[in-house]
A and B are shown apart, each in its own frame.
Chain A
Amino acid sequence: MPLQREDISNKLASVGYVADRDIATALWLMEFLKRPLLLEGEAGVGKTEVAKALAAAHGVELIRLQCYEGLDQNAALYEWNYQRQLLAIQAREAAGENADAIEERIFSEKYLLERPLLAAIRRPTPPVLLVDEVDRADEEFEAFLLELLSDFQVSIPELGTIKAVSIPRVVLTSNGTRELSDALRRRCLYHYIDFPDVDREAKIVLVRTPGIDATLALQIARMVAAVRKEDLRKVPGVAETLDWAATLAGLDVHDLRQEPEAVHETMICLLKTHEDRARMTREVGERLLGKVA
């Protein structure tokens, strides 16, 4: 019996991830069709968190590949252990072995270093493979990734083809710094994550911040939603909300309206540039607080 959407929601909830209906459906579909899931959305909406929660919910390992400009197969797939190879060559040569035999020996599994992609397809239990910020990698790497995601096998010239032992659950995230290829998009299921609405964010704060009460969580969520509507350079994400909630809880604040001073001072948790900080003056802060109440 395949997993149902509710099962996935419940499992995610049990590891502290508050899923909305749409993301739960997308994750169910991913399970059902065995296709990778591409997550897009603003920075800080919790794209990476989805993969982490998914791994925790299934109780499997999370293998993460952080993409960057210039990422190549050496760093993503496999690398030979050069130091050991060099030592082996010299040791064997001293022992009088011939070159062919040495070559055979040093290009074997023993000298192979797994990198995330190779590791992900060689685990006996299917892990969650998170390919983070895939838009940062080059087009060439994207094409390679596409090949891996459809065949689930890689060929290592010195060693031969390695087939996947298990098919990992693959989650890709993109911040949209570059347009991804149509081929990759078509290969994946797509989900766009928006900032959570006030109720869901309040729930997230409640679940993730120990010892916070429901009224404060709701106030915080409303305040953050109001701050996001301001014209800021860097819009605060969910992680910032949680930081702020933790700070306020730590300062023993129970009602935002009672302590405008504390609110203003702790806003640094939400505002990460000098400009935004200058924009969010005491007056603006109080106006927003007024709305929240």
Chain B
Amino acid sequence: MAALATRRRLAGFARTLRDNGYRVGLAETRDALQVLASPAALRPTSLKPALRALFCATHSDWERFDEIFDAFWHGHGMRQVLTGTPSAGHAPAKKLAEAHVPQEALGLPDRVERRSDGDGETQAEGRGRRGGASRAERLAAVDLRHVVDPDDIAATHALAARLARVMRARLVRREQIRNHGRRLDLRRTIHRNVSHGGTPVELAWRRRKIKPLRLVVLLDASGSMSLYTAFFVRFLHGVVDAFREAEAFVFHTRLAHVSPSLRDRDVTRAVERLSLMAQGIGGGTRIGDSLATFNRWHARRVINSRTALMIVSDGYDTGDPEQLGEEMRRLRRRCKKIIWLNPLIGWRDYAPQARGMQAALPYVDLFAPAHNLQSLAALEPYLAKL
């Protein structure tokens, strides 16, 4: 049997893994103790692979394991490896609290106010306080750049989250009405007709289950989009929460898979965490590169033939437009529909002249505005028809 010291050390290792977002439960730890007590533990060459097979559950766990293992057992005293996106673990939230992140980290109040300084009229409109539904209605039409009042911001975000849920509910209902495909359920038919001498008098039918649409959202969080990012992050959370099959990614100069972080039930925490991740360095967007990363590493897993891909971006790309076009073409072949939401369409006299946008347009099925809540709500009938 493993000595007490070893058992303690193992428990410490399990905790380190949990801190790094691994899902390690008591069962795994118990099995690990069993492994430690076996002859395999005598040879470090087989201990590492054994613990890896035991504690890892996904490819990303697998890839980070060696680093964590070495750090723990060969004593660099590392508590958390910050590579890529934090997964659903709870450590990041704690870190947020420790870091005393000010409210402004959410990105919106500070920036919007700065932007709307010279825009007296809309600012006045944003400040107006009305209650109840009319206020919600009014908010729905206001360009998100111009929402300034903290209460209004909160209301906008709540609307966005609700909108995502409503979309989901309507989609499902339509599917059920549309569902006519039936086939015979032989097993139940026979069972029912034993008393008729096996002649199938009462038939048992089976309905064909239609699988719901899967939605994958890629959100541009670059500097040029910063006015809208916080809002879309909230929308993203709503989408991931409401759709059973939804995946979310955020990109600026690189791409990050954020669905695990968004699955947190605590909205504020999830959105806060993501807003921090989404805060680009204010630098350029590399849409082409980000899409290439998506195509190479994520597309095969998250996209299937009934996936609608939604890209939220202003199309200002500092990368190579040709690459963007090529990656869009690849994406087009994989999924059912590509929807490109561009907040700039809501601006007066906007024409998609950015070179990146031009390269991408031929592969886009729906190019729609997304500068306010009304424009998002207008998407729902389209999604329902897919």
- Decide whether A and B are members of one complex: yes
Residues of A at the B interface (CB closer than 8 Å) are 2, 4-5, 21-22, 25-26, 28-29, 32-33, 35, 37, 40, 69-70, 74, 79-80, 82, 85-86, 89-90, 93, 99, 102-103, 106, 138, 158, 175-179, 182, 185-186, 189-192
Task: Report B177-197 CB contacts with A as 1/0, cut-off 8 Å.
Answer: 000000000110011001101
Contact B31 A5 (CB under 8 A): no
In the assembled complex, 11 residue pairs joining A and B whose CB atoms fall closer than 8 Å, in A order, are: A25-B46, A28-B40, A29-B35, A29-B50, A32-B40, A33-B35, A176-B300, A177-B304, A182-B23, A185-B23, A186-B25
Name the distance in Å between A6's Cβ and chain B's nearest Cβ.
10
A82, A106, A177: the one within 8 Å of B300 (CB): A177
The answer to whether B198 has its CB under 8 Å from any CB of chain A is yes
The answer to whether B103 has its CB under 8 Å from any CB of chain A is no
Contact A186 B27 (CB under 8 A): yes
Contact B57 A176 (CB under 8 A): no
Residues of chain B lying within 8 A (CB to CB) of residue A138: 211
Smallest CB gap from A88: residue in B: B198
Residues of chain B lying within 8 A (CB to CB) of residue A176: 59, 300-301
Contact B40 A106 (CB under 8 A): no
The answer to whether B56 has its CB under 8 Å from any CB of chain A is yes
The answer to whether B28 has its CB under 8 Å from any CB of chain A is yes
Contact B194 A189 (CB under 8 A): no
Contact B191 A158 (CB under 8 A): yes
Smallest CB gap from B30: residue in A: A33
Given the known inter-chain contacts A79-B187, A176-B301, please indicate yes or no for A29 contacting B53, CB distance below 8 A. Answer: yes
The answer to whether B176 has its CB under 8 Å from any CB of chain A is no
The number of A-B residue pairs with CB atoms under 8 Å apart is 98
Contact A190 B61 (CB under 8 A): yes
The answer to whether B282 has its CB under 8 Å from any CB of chain A is no
A90, A179, A189: the one within 8 Å of B197 (CB): A90
The answer to whether B54 has its CB under 8 Å from any CB of chain A is yes
Smallest CB gap from B185: residue in A: A74
Contact A99 B195 (CB under 8 A): yes
Name the distance in Å between A232's Cβ and chain B's nearest Cβ.
11
Smallest CB gap from A188: residue in B: B57
Contact B198 A21 (CB under 8 A): no
Expressed in whole angstroms, the Cα–Cα distance for A29 and B35 within the complex equals: 8
Contact B62 A190 (CB under 8 A): yes
Interface centre among B40, B198, B300 (most CB of A within 10 A): B198
Which 10 interchain pairs have the tightest Cβ spacing? Answer: A89-B198, A185-B57, A25-B49, A26-B53, A192-B62, A22-B49, A176-B301, A190-B56, A189-B53, A86-B198
Contact A33 B31 (CB under 8 A): yes
Expressed in whole angstroms, the Cα–Cα distance for A190 and B63 within the complex equals: 12
Smallest CB gap from B245: residue in A: A178
Smallest CB gap from A179: residue in B: B301
Contact B49 A26 (CB under 8 A): yes
**Secondary structure of the B contact surface, majority rule:** helix
Expressed in whole angstroms, the Cα–Cα distance for A178 and B35 within the complex equals: 31
Residues of chain B lying within 8 A (CB to CB) of residue A37: 53
Contact A178 B190 (CB under 8 A): no
Expressed in whole angstroms, the Cα–Cα distance for A5 and B46 within the complex equals: 8
Expressed in whole angstroms, the Cα–Cα distance for A189 and B50 within the complex equals: 9
B49, B59, B187: the one within 8 Å of A21 (CB): B49
Which residues 37-81 in B have Cβ within 8 Å of A in the complex? Answer: 38-40, 45-46, 49-50, 52-54, 56-59, 61-63
Smallest CB gap from B195: residue in A: A99
The answer to whether B318 has its CB under 8 Å from any CB of chain A is no
B54, B195, B302: the one within 8 Å of A29 (CB): B54
Given the known inter-chain contacts A28-B40, A186-B28, please indicate yes or no for A93 contacting B197, CB distance below 8 A. Answer: yes
Which residues 190-234 in B have Cβ within 8 Å of A in the complex? Answer: 190-191, 194-195, 197-198, 209, 211
Which residues 233-290 in B have Cβ within 8 Å of A in the complex? Answer: none
Expressed in whole angstroms, the Cα–Cα distance for A176 and B297 within the complex equals: 11
Residues of chain A lying within 8 A (CB to CB) of residue B63: 192
The answer to whether B358 has its CB under 8 Å from any CB of chain A is no
The answer to whether B34 has its CB under 8 Å from any CB of chain A is yes
Residues of chain B lying within 8 A (CB to CB) of residue A102: 194
Expressed in whole angstroms, the Cα–Cα distance for A102 and B198 within the complex equals: 10
Which residues 14-34 in B have Cβ within 8 Å of A in the complex? Answer: 23, 25, 27-28, 31, 34
Expressed in whole angstroms, the Cα–Cα distance for A101 and B184 within the complex equals: 26
Contact A80 B301 (CB under 8 A): no
Expressed in whole angstroms, the Cα–Cα distance for A48 and B190 within the complex equals: 37
Name the distance in Å between B44's Cβ and chain A's nearest Cβ.
12
Smallest CB gap from B214: residue in A: A178
Residues of chain B lying within 8 A (CB to CB) of residue A40: 59
Residues of chain A lying within 8 A (CB to CB) of residue B49: 21-22, 25-26
Name the distance in Å between B184's Cβ and chain A's nearest Cβ.
11
Name the distance in Å between B14's Cβ and chain A's nearest Cβ.
13
Given the known inter-chain contacts A82-B186, A89-B194, please indicate yes or no for A32 contacting B25, CB distance below 8 A. Answer: no
Smallest CB gap from A32: residue in B: B38
Interface centre among A103, A158, A186, A192 (most CB of B within 10 A): A192
Expressed in whole angstroms, the Cα–Cα distance for A90 and B57 within the complex equals: 53
Residues of chain A lying within 8 A (CB to CB) of residue B25: 186
Contact B197 A80 (CB under 8 A): no
Contact A32 B54 (CB under 8 A): no
Name the distance in Å between A183's Cβ and chain B's nearest Cβ.
10
